[in-house]
């Protein structure tokens, strides 16, 4: 009797355990499902898809942009936060958002900060101005005013690089071209090189030719390198530009990258037989040095 009672009790325990175990399996699977989902990569986007600006749940970039455009108080809060933010990733998110918002309020804030003599305020203003075209006179004049004021060469070179060419009347482009032409003769090699590179994009080929020629003969290798690239990207053509490029391409003392770039730039020039022979040797050497020569 005791054995029978024990067998019945054991069978009941096993049955209860078997009924309980299948019930727990779906819960485990459901718990694991979100982990597998979170491992999937987000699709690439030109902007961050979500910004945790509100604190708790992330908010879509587009929702933040639309709110900032219709809510002046929220926009002012974004500008304040950008001015105070120290974390690089958060600053980048805020800057991308403010560039997308644009508008007159952001522009006024950017111009007021850029006009400051404090380095950090100036940086904030200039970064925000990067979202506006130089077709706008106030943006163009703000950068030119900074360049006329002078300063550290590294800062001047950075300002020059911000002068992205834009389509505008020649009367409006003239002050930019004039300033770049002056800076192409600056005492600092970085400033000279960047000024020549930008001048070749802003000025008419005949206007840029003299500065490009001087830069190809510059004692600083960095200036010569930028001048070679600038000639390639411009329509400036002359006998003396061609002669300078041939000299660089054929000079064993020039670095390999400059010789190769000069040989490539010469493809856009008309060459006589003697010049073509020089170019051919330079091109063959460049191909051999780059591993492309058969």
Distance of CA 53 to the CA centre of its chain: 24
Contact of 247 with 265, CB cutoff 8 Å: no
Q: Which of 144, 59, 132 is nearest to 95 (CA)?
A: 132
User: pLDDT category, 287, cuts 50, 70, 90?
Assistant: confident
Question: Is-above-0.95 flag for pTM?
Answer: no
User: pLDDT category, 50, cuts 50, 70, 90?
Assistant: low
Q: Which residue has the tokens 């063959």?
A: 284
Q: Which pLDDT does position 231 carry in this prediction?
A: 96
The SS3 assignment for 59 reads strand
Task: Report the C-alpha gap between 158 and 139 in whole angstroms.
Answer: 15
Q: What is the dihedral of CA 85, 87, 93, 97, to 10 degrees?
A: 10
Contact of 61 with 49, CB cutoff 8 Å: yes
pLDDT at 147 over 70: yes
């Amino acid at each position: 009797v005791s054995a029978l009672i024990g067998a019945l009790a054991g069978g009941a325990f096993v049955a209860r355990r078997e009924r309980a175990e299948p019930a727990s399996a779906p819960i485990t699977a459901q718990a694991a499902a979100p982990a597998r989902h979170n491992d999937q990569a987000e699709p690439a986007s030109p902007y961050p898809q979500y910004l945790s600006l509100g604190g708790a749940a992330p908010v879509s970039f587009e929702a933040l942009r639309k709110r900032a455009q219709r809510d002046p108080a929220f926009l002012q809060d974004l500008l304040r936060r950008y001015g105070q933010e120290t974390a690089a990733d958060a600053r980048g998110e805020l800057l991308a958002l403010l560039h997308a918002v644009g508008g007159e309020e952001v522009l006024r804030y950017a111009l007021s900060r850029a006009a400051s003599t404090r380095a950090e305020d100036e940086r904030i203003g200039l970064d925000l101005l990067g979202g506006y075209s130089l077709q706008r006179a106030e943006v163009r004049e703000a950068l030119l005013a900074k360049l006329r004021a002078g300063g550290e060469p590294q800062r001047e070179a950075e300002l020059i690089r911000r002068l992205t060419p834009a389509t505008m009347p020649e009367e409006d482009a003239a002050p930019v071209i004039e300033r770049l032409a002056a800076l192409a003769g600056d005492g600092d090699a970085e400033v000279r090189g960047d000024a020549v590179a930008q001048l070749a994009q802003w000025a008419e080929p005949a206007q840029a030719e003299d500065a490009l020629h001087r830069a190809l003969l510059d004692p600083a290798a960095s200036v010569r390198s930028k001048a070679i690239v600038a000639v390639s990207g411009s329509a400036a053509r002359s006998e003396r530009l061609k002669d300078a490029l041939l000299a660089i391409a054929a000079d064993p003392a020039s670095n390999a990258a400059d010789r190769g770039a000069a040989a490539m730039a010469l493809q856009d020039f008309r060459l006589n037989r003697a010049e073509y022979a020089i170019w051919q040797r330079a091109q063959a050497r460049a191909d051999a040095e780059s591993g492309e020569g058969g």
